[in-house]
Amino acid sequence: MLDIKKIRADFPILNRKVNGHSLIYFDNAATSQKPQQVIDKIVEYYTLYNANIHRGVHALSQEATDLFEESREKVRAFFNIAHTKQVIFTSGNTHSINAVANGAHAFVKKGDEVILSAVEHHSNIVPWQMLCERVGATIKIIPVLDNGELDMATYHQLLNAKTAFVVVNHISNALGVTNPVKEIIDAAHQHGAMTLIDGAQSCGHMKIDVQALNADFYTMAGHKMCGPTGIGILYGKEDALNALPPYQGGGEMIDQVSFEKTTYAGLPHKFEAGTPNIAGGIALGAAIDYLNEIGMDDIAAYENELLIYGTEQIKTIPGAKIYGDVTDKAAVISFNVASLHPYDIGTIVDKLGVAVRTGHHCAQPVMERYQVPGTIRASFAFYNTKEEIDVMVQALQRAVNMLS
């Protein structure tokens, strides 16, 4: 059982008013809010030990380096990663995917096939299109069924000797549906293919054990798990990371540089060219401490309660249609009401203090699949309440009445 009142007191932004109403923040799939503990950590870094890391012998640099590396260890433990050298700090989930796709010519050759799902975010489509164009490979798509689940029968038929990489998200940001990633990974491996799982929507909402999942690469976004923006994680199996060439060159990713030849540093530094987001990395450690203190199992159970309640309540609105109305999903509800435009509804509920996302959610192929211009998306986090859902539903009903 979560002490929601106590948890909400940690998030200063939840006290603010928007358009004269108490803020109801239901855009957690876009970015989570930050507890005071994370905000304080950023201020502490710049106030007390701002220095570049891995470079200086002076005290500040060593303090900052120690804290940054402590965060790497926290990430390792949080996702049950075997070794800290498999934790690559990036600028975000998009960067993590691009870091793999840009070097994936090591795994994908001319004539090969890369399988993506129909519910991918643009950041897990475009880098693979660029790769396939570069090497002369072809993209194949796992279709999505009417209920938002992937068409697994077709997936198994798509796999063949030419399949070099399989790339899917753990949870769809546009529908909230949890994909059967373990089955997808195991089947890909049986065909000798590499796998990347986009964990942007799963990190911070469920316990993730990368070793149990057995994906070759897994990507996460710090800002979706109560950490700051500008920091992400790329996990990889050690062999996979060793085989992947770095796509950014620069300081700190090298072993020796001469004009004749450069050799690269070992993991994780090979993929961390330049000065990283030091404050972001350290604050992500504080976010992980915070989530651990509450407990990921309790967070997942409570968010599922919000999902069930929110789904029931949204269905009371005449004409409401939910996309991805299945049980195995995150607390993300994507819906429309009759033929009303999602943007119009989103604008009106914003005037009533309710923040939802409207539009294609950077997943245009999903919208095309369901033949809609976009959806309204309400996405909950563990600091939200059923009372807030009630207020949202009243606001939605008001918007529908005004527009009908």
List 132, 203, 226, 362, catalytic entry: 362
Q: Are 19 and 205 in contact (CB under 8 A)?
A: no
Contact region for ligand C6P (CB under 6 A) — 119-127, 250-258, 267-275, 366-374? Answer: 119-127
Amino acid occupying residue 282 = I
Among 121, 237, 270, 329, binds ligand C6P (CB under 6 A): 121
Residue 201: CB minimum distance to ligand C6P, A: 5
Q: Are 237 and 86 in contact (CB under 8 A)?
A: yes
280: how many CB neighbours lie within 10 A of its CB?
24
Contact region for ligand C6P (CB under 6 A) — 39-47, 64-72, 120-128, 258-266? Answer: 120-128
How far, rounded to the nearest angstrom, does the alpha carbon of residue 69 sit from its chain's CA centroid? Answer: 22
Judged by CB, which is closer to ligand C6P: 85, or 361?
A: 361
Cα–Cα dist 14/218, whole Å: 31
Contact region for ligand C6P (CB under 6 A) — 121-129, 160-168, 242-250, 252-260? Answer: 121-129
Q: Which two tokens stand for residue 248?
A: 């950014």
Q: What string marks each residue from 161 to 200 as x (binds ligand C6P by CB under 6 A) or -?
A: --------x---x------------------------x-x
Which residues make beta-bridge pairs with 323?
A: 334
Q: Can residue 332 be called a binding residue for ligand C6P (CB under 6 A)? A: no
Q: Are 144 and 117 in contact (CB under 8 A)?
A: yes
Q: Residue with CB nearest ligand C6P?
A: 173
Cα–Cα dist 187/336, whole Å: 35
Cα–Cα dist 123/305, whole Å: 30
Number of residues that bind ligand C6P (CB under 6 A): 17
Q: Which two tokens stand for residue 302?
A: 């409570």
Q: What string marks each residue from 16 to 55 as x (binds ligand C6P by CB under 6 A) or -?
A: -------------xx-------------------------
Contact region for ligand C6P (CB under 6 A) — 118-126, 252-260, 273-281, 381-389? Answer: 118-126
Q: Which of residues 361-390 bind ligand C6P (CB under 6 A)?
A: 361-362
Q: Which of residues 82-101 bind ligand C6P (CB under 6 A)?
A: 92-94
Residue 260: CB minimum distance to ligand C6P, A: 37
Judged by CB, which is closer to ligand C6P: 64, or 225?
A: 225
Judged by CB, which is closer to ligand C6P: 124, or 313?
A: 124
Residue-by-residue DSSP string for 256-314: EE-SS-EEE--TTGGG--S---HHHHHHHHHHHHHHHHH-HHHHHHHHHHHHHHHHHHH
Helix (H, G, I), strand (E, B) or coil at 398: helix
Among 33, 86, 123, 313, binds ligand C6P (CB under 6 A): 123
Judged by CB, which is closer to ligand C6P: 220, or 389?
A: 220
Q: Is 203 a catalytic residue?
A: no
For residue 172, the number of C-alpha atoms closer than 13 Å in the C-beta half-sphere is 33
146 burial level (CB within 10 Å; 0-12, 13-18, 19+) = exposed
Q: Which two tokens stand for residue 242?
A: 């060793």
Q: Are 199 and 219 in contact (CB under 8 A)?
A: yes
Q: Can residue 357 be called a binding residue for ligand C6P (CB under 6 A)? A: yes
Amino acid occupying residue 348 = I
Judged by CB, which is closer to ligand C6P: 355, or 362?
A: 362
Judged by CB, which is closer to ligand C6P: 118, or 221?
A: 221
Q: Which of residues 200-219 bind ligand C6P (CB under 6 A)?
A: 200-201
- Rounded to a whole number of angstroms, the CA Rg of the chain reads 22
Amino acid occupying residue 240 = A
Q: Which residues contact ligand C6P by CB under 6 A?
A: 29-30, 92-94, 121, 123-124, 169, 173, 198, 200-201, 221, 357, 361-362
- Active site amino acids: 362
